[in-house]
Structure 1
Amino acid sequence: MDNKVHALIGLLSKSSFLTLKEIETQTSSTRRQIYYRLDKINQELLDRKIEVSKGSITITEDIRNKLIALMKEESESEYFLSSKERQLYMYLYMFIGVPYISLNHFIDSLKVSKSTVLNELKDLEKICQGYDIEIQYDRSIGYFLRGNEIDIRRFMMLEVINTLSVDNNGKLFDLFINDNNLDIFQYSKLLIQELSDLHRIEFVEDRIAEFIYILIFLKARLANNNDIDISTDFVSIMKDDANLEVMKNTKEYAFVSDLIKNYKQASYITDEEKIYLTAWILGLSIGNLEEDTDDCLTIANMVDRLMYRFEILSGVQYKNTEDIFRKLYCHLRPTYYRLLYHLPIVNPLKDKVKEEHDKLYKLVLETVKPLEALFCHEIPDDEVAYLTMHFGAIYADREIVKTNSQKTGLIVCSNGLGSSAILYSELSNLFPEIHFLKPLESSNLMYIDSDFDIIFSTTYLDESMLHDKPVVYVRPVMNMQERYQVVREVCMKLKTTFSNIPDIEKVITLVKKHGLVNDELGLANDLIAYFSNNEQKYGADEGLMLSQMADPKLMNIQLEAKDWEDAIRKSGQSLVDYGYATNNYIEEVVNSTKINGPFYVITTNIALPHVKAMFGALKIGLAISVLKEPVVFGNKDLDPIKYIFFLTALDNETHLTALSILVELFNEKKFFECLDSAKTSLEVSDFIIKYEANKLSRN
């Protein structure tokens, strides 16, 4: 049974009902391919067949159990590698560096023809070149990897992380470990769990397998290559950026030292390698604010600065600031070390986050820009997406009181705090009639003592852990189609009426009878949003545009001001004159500046002053002012200030679209050329309107 059939079994086993259209979308397959795979599955199921009725499939509990049993049987049977998996196998073979690797070694291990191996090797060479790694051949040692040692390791790590992030499938790695007699996975897992408990090191549950596989492959490389020296490539960086003795005093270093003692032939792991492994552990584990570590003030200061900058850029009004600070600290400590030592990270939800939470993502992208100067390189999109998920917790923070009639939902999420927070928010919005307990990892499911009616899980759960409760499988970040499927699944599991959302495919079929549908997926999304009463959050109403907030009458072109206080008062006066704010709102900005300094100066020449709505914000607006002569505000790094964007916001969401566009404009040279050359406010307004129109046409 091939991997695509296996993937379809997994999809079907997690649902009670699916349309063929949904399967096409989720598997990127044609209907013909789906029918072919269903036939293959039915041949295995024998007496119980999966039937397609009116373009949809209903999966009964009996069939689901048979599908789960079939998956277990498949996991124990011979595994057939895809082309990409064969290439990764070959890379790992060269990575561990056995004494001699010939073409026949590849042929025998992969059980394919010579021509297939040569083709796979050619494709792998092209991929490796993109990472500055060469595959070379020498008669005395065979095939081997040449390049910067850190790059060679980084590629291996990225491939392991990517492979596991798809469907948590480690079959390829298990096969490779078995073929080459490497360390036993389960032994390493038990050992790491025991030592992590001993040293109080907490990993995100989904990343433990990643850590174990990478450690096994790295140890094999070091054992087979005694001449490997990372001192030039890695330790030299650390000598510039950190004190090695401080690193050796961490609990992570003690963890690494104890870990390698439990393996045979540990003498080949040098002090430099221990430092490398320590940095890697720091980039994988979860930070703990309660621990008095040497880096706690550095990390805390970074969290504080990011929260402060995000608050200014987004105009949010924090609730439960301490809880948000703790969650961000937990995530930012490993982020700090990944960025400091260029350690790889893969966020499988990156594209989904950028698509479904684009406004928030853009604001976070602007928020983290000061970090680029700290680490001397751009912040990877994968890291920005993770931070976006954490800042999403701000919007999930709301007080929920359970009523006696409410069902209770339990969220099981093993993808980390950010995923849990954003999933909690998604499900709370989708099901206001369900009271949700705080998310937990699957390993803690057996210990829960709270009563609940239904489980929402991001990972497959063993039946013995379900407490005889129905389970709905969800993604940490969902698009509109996936939200629709989850609502439908919950209604079927809880046997409630599915009255709010009709069969969307039938509605579209009816519409197509009477007219042309240019964007079927877009229409489906809008229908789902409308019928599920989520149009305010997910539908056509995307919040105010920048052109709606930045009314020309609020703008001040070539404004004259003698100092920062005069500039604040004059730039904010139009907000008072047109009923957007009271005089007290402007005075609060002035008083806060005198006490806290110019906290709203966000980058060179730009100020974005605002305070909490409680001080006198009446309407949502943005007053844009261009000073005739720049004024010193008191931020020596970013002074003088020429452009003032005075914000009034009433909540945390309505203005997000506008501000996400504004932070984009901050990076547009032509925008500031327009501000400098404009003779009237209408010229600035026209520029913004045209920019928004072009943006919409591109999307």
Structure 2
Amino acid sequence: MDISARMRQILLALLHENGPISVKLLAEQIGVSKRTVQRELEYMERTLKGYEVRFTSKTGVGVWLEGGEEEKKRLLAEISRGDSYDVSNREDRRKRLVLEILKEKGLKKLYYYSSQFGVSEATVSADLESVESWLGQFGLQISRKPGSGIETNGSEEDYRRAIRAFIEENINTNILREAYEEDTSVLDPQDVLIKSGIGQVLNNDVLKRVIRCITDMDHLQVKSMTENSYVGLVIHITIAIDRILKDEMIEPGSGWMEGMDRDEDYRLSEEIAAKLEAEFGIRFPELEVSYICLHIKGAKHERVRWDSREALSIENRELQYLVNEMIDAFDPMQACLLKQDEEFIQGLLAHLQPTLIRIMYGMHIQNPMLGEIRESYPEIYRKCGNVAAVLKKKTQREVPEEETGFLTVHFGAAVFRLEGRKESIRKVHVGVICSSGIGISRLMVSKLEKTYKDRMILTAYGKNDITPYIIGKTDFLISTIPMEPQDIPVVFVNPLLNKGNMEEIREMILRYERMPEKQKEENEFSSKLEEINLVAVQIRTILKNMEFFKVGNDITFEELLIAIGEKMSPYSDRSGQIQEDLMRRERISSQVFAEFGFALLHTRTKGVLRPEFAVCVTKDLGAFHDPYFKGIRTVIIMLVPIDENGQVNNEIMGYISSMLIEEYEFLEVLSRGDKEEIRELLSRYLKEYFNRYLAKV
């Protein structure tokens, strides 16, 4: 609810009255003049819109509120939970002034703002002078009209850019996912948004419906966006729809959109626009579709897409020339060596395409680590200023410091790798421990590999897999569960790897990467040959015996476990053991992952004598109906026997688990329900695993 501080006081006073009260007495109660109250009451009808409460006044009697008790209680609760702020806090007040200016175009008197904030018109006038420079960054100008008030001038496009910048600068946008995509049984999304401030800037109803539309589309390209890029897209679309509903649309400009390729990104933009048109009953102009396309093209992704149109390969000479120029500008003395770092070049090429789009079209991107980057790596950040100058020359646009910060990360990693080679730094051998070695440890390995992939060799183990041989080749262990003291250090962590855990792991890596590698035993070659043969046999067994079966949509979770047991073993005792072990694992923590669209049912069990992999879908390839499945369409089953080969089996199954999360193609193939296509893709992934395994040994 958007009301001024004074209006809140007036409503609170009226709601606590049982009958009419004179305007004079009302003014005395809240400590303002009678004239001030009368001016506020002019806005009362608009304030009460949306409530079945009516403001009534009668000469000689007074003023009062009419309506049912329940509706009055709802209004009182809304007012009471409305946020408050310190009027004397000048910075906070000026931010609110910017917000008011951006929310609504048109002429406004100074009294309107002074009433909103509970300060004098002179104070508002001084605040306006302060905020003019911020608005000016986006082409918005304040004009003063004596006797009438103030008016903000600028294009609709300028207004939208300013609104988005205000949100990103002042509000924790992570609240979007927390409010609408997480379990909100404890806190209502409406409350979350009001407390975050987003509800004051964006139309909350529009925001909720936009997120629902995009989520329901379940498009892999959108799902792969980073948090900031996803939030940016949601904010842009919400602002656009809100302005369209108010008939405040962007006028066609220089015609840049006419040169936009009707490629995969544009088709996705049209698909999103069509979904939103159906939801809101509006027509999306082609220009608005093009703006959505720009956001998609300028988005950062958790994984780079390498399709035929966007593959940044050796043929893309223009980008390569630009990268070479950027490296030369960074440090001419190190340029030759940096250009030989293939990982750095590929990473910079992948980063460059969306970066150029953002810079060329003035699209803002958040970089929450910017302050830390500048403070921790001042010399690299300074050199990246030269890199930004190359991009400025290329695009004829200013390069935001947030983009310079991202460049610092890329160049910094390459510099550290270069320095590491000079210091003979080696990769550290680390074991990650959880109860089974298949589930949560694989998720931890994925996160650690993203952060330290160039500095450590990670292996996931179950608690019972740790043998003298494992200890002999491992530098230190990372464990989520209690363990007996070991002959090597153990770092105990939260399964979600909080900031403190990551810092402790980083310090351990720093300690061991400069130490000589552990001595190999003389008989290691022989044992390695045996292990290689075992890995090959287990992979062949998994592929040969892969199961695929379909069940009815209405099957319950318990019935599914029965079906799995019967499918995976023809013997009733073993079938029952499989069911029991899967249910025991499920009770520890649910393996139904709605956010990924699948369930991963895995366990170590005496019900099987060899590693088993199976896929289960519904007969019509649609979603399971039982609410326990949370709308998923696919169930993956991984069973590992309880024997001396547990560590090898867990490694293989763990790799398959990581592919489910990291390779979107895997889920797409699973959802199509073609057994041979699944087997073929699984074979390809396990071949990749085997090649990586051979490279490590």
Work out whether the TM-score is over 0.5.
Answer: no
Larger RCO: 1 or 2 (CA < 8 Å, sep 6+): 1
Larger radius of gyration: 2
Please classify the TM superposition score into its range, dividing by the shorter chain length. Answer: 0.3 to 0.5
- TM-score (norm: length of structure 2): 0.43
- TM-score (norm: length of structure 1): 0.43
